[in-house]
């Protein structure tokens, strides 16, 4: 197996809540600062939101693949990630990261299968494997919503 290397560059100025940076990701530039709720500028995104986005994207793509591989109906996966920080400000850290997936184009009658695959995807996602043991990484509410045919007059 090959080792892979990933790289992100950031330029940062200022200390604490006055700090702000510009991070290059995938050919785009994002403004980054501490969130207002933590005494920061609250401009752009935050390191906390970037972590949640990494979890959401890895988990969602893994869950989609797991569902498709096991023959469960899926058109797309939408995932809300909640992060709970405890011990702020002196010993602040994420204590819980919870993924809440919604399977679009799913079959609600197979909800137990979707829930089992959602937990399996949590354990397979490599970002999830990276944070496991450092934070309580949970699967919360799992929903499977069928595709709904349009109603009403057709144009």
Give the model's confidence band at 153: pLDDT under 50 very low, under 70 low, under 90 confident, else very high. low
Give the model's confidence band at 1: pLDDT under 50 very low, under 70 low, under 90 confident, else very high. confident
Residue-wise pLDDT tens digits, 74-115 = 999 999 999 999 999 999 999 999 999 999 999 999 999 999
Q: What percent of the chain has pLDDT over 90?
A: 87
- Burial (0-12, 13-18, 19+ Cβ within 10 Å), 103: buried
The pLDDT, as a whole number, for residue 132 is 87
pTM above 0.85, yes or no: yes
Superfamily name and number for 47-145: K homology (KH) domain (3.30.300.20)
Locate the domains of the chain by residue range: 7-45, 47-145
- Burial (0-12, 13-18, 19+ Cβ within 10 Å), 125: buried
> Can you tell me the mean pLDDT for 50-65?
97
Q: 150 CB contacts (<8 Å, ≥6 apart)?
A: none
């Amino acid at each position: 197996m090959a080792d892979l290397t990933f790289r992100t560059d950031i330029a940062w100025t200022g200390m604490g809540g006055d700090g702000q940076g510009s991070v290059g990701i995938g050919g785009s530039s994002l403004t980054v600062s501490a969130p207002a709720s933590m005494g920061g500028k609250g401009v752009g995104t935050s390191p906390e939101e970037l972590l949640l986005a990494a979890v959401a994207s890895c988990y969602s793509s893994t869950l989609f693949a797991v569902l498709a591989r096991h023959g469960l109906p899926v058109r797309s996966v939408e995932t809300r990630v909640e992060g709970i920080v405890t011990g702020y400000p002196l010993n602040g850290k994420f204590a819980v990261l919870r993924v809440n997936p919604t399977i679009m184009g799913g079959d609600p009658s197979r909800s137990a299968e979707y829930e089992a695959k959602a937990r399996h995807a949590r354990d397979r996602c490599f970002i999830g494997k990276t944070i496991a043991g450092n934070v309580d990484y949970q699967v919360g509410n799992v929903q499977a919503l069928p595709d709904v045919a349009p109603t009403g007059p057709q144009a």
